[in-house]
Structure 1
Amino acid sequence: MYGFVVRRCPDRRTAEDVTSETFLAAMDSVRRRRDTEPTTGWLIGIARHKLADHWRRAQRTPEPVENPPDRGNDPWDTELDRMVAHHTLGQLSPVHRSVLTLRYVDDLPVGECAEILGRTVGATEALLTRAKRAFRAAYPETQPQPSGRGGHA
């Protein structure tokens, strides 16, 4: 968890604080709701919210860095994003989960998705729009917006 947070913070002290806040919030949530099943995706979602809270509180302009470190494509970030997306898909209705999986995981064209689901192409496109909206609403905040407002992926 610390590694996930430290790559998104300006300094280690802030990363330690955000990591602590993440675990405290997770423990509070588990205590309040006995039916909460802690998963890595769930914990990453809490960390992302705590990072957004930090950035909202800071409300300062970032100091320019002459040679910022190259973050590149970290395979761990990709795996965490995949886990969070999988967890989010699991929260959707079966029909939303099916159409998103067929279209974006299986990479099928809308026409084939429609055929598999027994719908018209137009109805499938409308269903995809609603499913994407539901996915965005369920997906944890990813990065704070420059205005200080959180956004959805």
Structure 2
Amino acid sequence: MSGTQPVPDSGPALLSLYDEALPEVYGYLLARCGRRALAEDLTAETFLAAVQACRSGSPPLSTGWLVGIARHKLVDHWRDLERLDRKLRLLDTDEVDDPWDAELDALLAREVLDALSPQHRASLTLRYLDGLPVAEVATVLGRTEQATEALLVRARHAFRRTYTALEGGPA
């Protein structure tokens, strides 16, 4: 026999821990990120990661373990925001000759992207966050290059309008 033992099913134990740990995990995340929707999303990601861990082994099921996963999910989120911030600062100024685009608040920019139409959000994300050239954005979106350029112009205007409105709004 090989040294591989069957992995015991820790799913029922995680399910029973869920009710007890959910308020603590959610509270931990909400206290650190300050946004209910984000805390809810990160809580869901935490429990999905816990399920994955249960499938691949016998993790130390405890509330502390789940809070540790939540901490990692929050750090991953902050890293993603930092990457977004860096990418937004490195906008291709040859194509967009406007210094306004280089000075964006990453959290506000994410909120603005979420508020845009799916087409605008997709085109801006592919072009400026993923760094794809317009021709590749067009291919991914199933549009002509000229139609994609026009879409990007409209998307940038929508982004600027929304960003400016939210930035100038009440804090």
What is the TM-score of this pair, normalised by structure 2?
0.37
Higher relative contact order, chain-length normalized (CA < 8 Å, sep 6+): 1
Point out the structure with the larger helix share. Answer: 2
Which entry has the higher C-alpha Rg, 1 or 2? 2
TM-score (norm 1): 0.41
